[in-house]
Amino acid sequence: MSDSQIVGALSLGGCCEDREKAFWQLWQQYQNYLAQCCLKWMGNATDAEDALSRAMLKAWEKIRDCTVEIKNFKFWLTRLTHNLCVDIHRECHRGAIQVQ
């Protein structure tokens, strides 16, 4: 199945089982790419693994509740993951400021 066919299965009209299968198929396809992005954005392997896990859960929640069609899944997933990494950095920075 091509990417466009898999993304089509994620569309609003797809049944839950088809959407779940399509999501996990695409996640596995882009997981290594996202892991490398997380490592670059987070700076260490432990934080990168945590960010990747959180991104997976957040993406899955958003796909289940999705009300719009995702045309470019890789871009959507990369943007979601990047924004999550930024949020994690902000959380850590806020925590460091409060300690002082």
| pLDDT tens string 15-28 | 677 778 888 999 99
pLDDT range class, residue 5, cuts 50, 70, 90: low
C-alpha distances (whole Å) from 90 to each of 11, 40, 87, 95 are 33, 16, 5, 8
If you compute the radius of gyration of the chain from its CA atoms, what whole number of angstroms results? 15
Q: Which class for 27: exposed (0-12), middle (13-18), buried (19 or more C-beta within 10 A)?
A: middle
The CA distance from 75 to 78, in Å, is: 5
The whole model's pTM is what? 0.80
